[in-house]
A and B are shown apart, each in its own frame.
Chain A
């Protein structure tokens, strides 16, 4: 974990692509623009792209198979600010190094990644913003 934090510190300021973390949040949009909640919803429900429902359940009555490895997404937007949601999407290991939630916008520390996925983030900056915009609408 120490190595990870050090890496984050070293890279944090330097690389322009590295989002700015403040406390337990990333306050600024990764793209500089707000996301689109409708597109975000589609990503969250997509079992190839978002994969969220592998682990989470949420207020999606039409979805039959929802996971229970993680807290429900219902009310996420009431519990957490957009900045807090963004950090949890980008790299939840900064809050809990042992989390099983994948870091959706970091390839740091990954090992034995399959050829098709090498050096690729799970979601793009636009997609992260779309998901954050959608999660922010989940208020109860």
Chain B
């Protein structure tokens, strides 16, 4: 739309006008945190050789074979999975996130000891599986309406000693500066991702914990369903954004 094109009479004009109008009416749609990063960081994310998250993806690929996942799944079959998580777990009828599903496969189906949720092996496996969906649009699971409702309530509830809600930063003040940090819209489409501040790959739950503690509120206990409910809402809010795993963030 922005690039100059040869004029082809009125129809192109009208098309452009309608398009601009639609953008104005709808807003520009969700913007990934990628869009507001510096060109250097975007280049780092785009180049698999300089993206440190790709080391974890390679590690995850090796684990996928070595830990027996490949006994039931092919890597190709993992394409699209992360784009539709969290999903509904049939057995428990509860929402489950991607790491939760990997843990369930390992513990229930393979009868193997659990992997620590934020440990390097689980992060690498999750990164490898999610990476298979890179470039695919997020498609929220329609069965999670109730979890999304709970997640939205959590998103809008003021909390902590600073008495701030997620929405007050990520809806009302996205694009502004909280001291030195640009406040992103707060989308979940790049996780697990490599954060320069962490000097490591980290999960969405780690990010959420950072924001919760940042307003001096009590984080949800590890494994609490609140995290998955919040993620279910975040994914719906980010509908259509492309999976970036492994993203880079400042």
Interface residues of A, Cβ cutoff 8 Å to B: 47, 51, 53-55, 64-69, 100, 102-103, 107, 109-117, 120, 122
Contacts and interface: CB of A to CB of B under 8 A. Distances in A.
Contact of A67 (B157, B177, B216, B219): B177
Contact of A117 (B161, B178, B179): B161
B173 A112 contact: no
Given A100-B168, A117-B216, A112 B159 contact: yes
Contacts, number: 65
B162 A102 contact: yes
Contacts of B160: 110, 112-114, 117
Interface of B: 157-164, 168, 172-173, 176-180, 213, 216-219
B163 A103 contact: yes
B176 A111 contact: no
What 5 pairs across the A-B complex have the smallest Cβ distances? A65-B180, A117-B161, A112-B159, A65-B179, A112-B217
B20 to A, nearest CB: 28
Contacts of B161: 102, 107, 110, 113-114, 117, 120, 122
Given A55-B178, A114-B213, A117-B216, 18 more contacts: A51-B162, A53-B179, A67-B179, A68-B177, A69-B176, A100-B164, A100-B172, A102-B164, A107-B161, A110-B160, A110-B163, A111-B159, A112-B217, A114-B160, A114-B216, A114-B217, A114-B218, A122-B161
A51, A100, A120: residue with the most chain B Cβ atoms closer than 10 Å? A100
Contacts of B219: 114
B218 A54 contact: no
Nearest to A98: B168
A54 B158 CA distance: 18
B151 to A, nearest CB: 15
A92 to B, nearest CB: 11
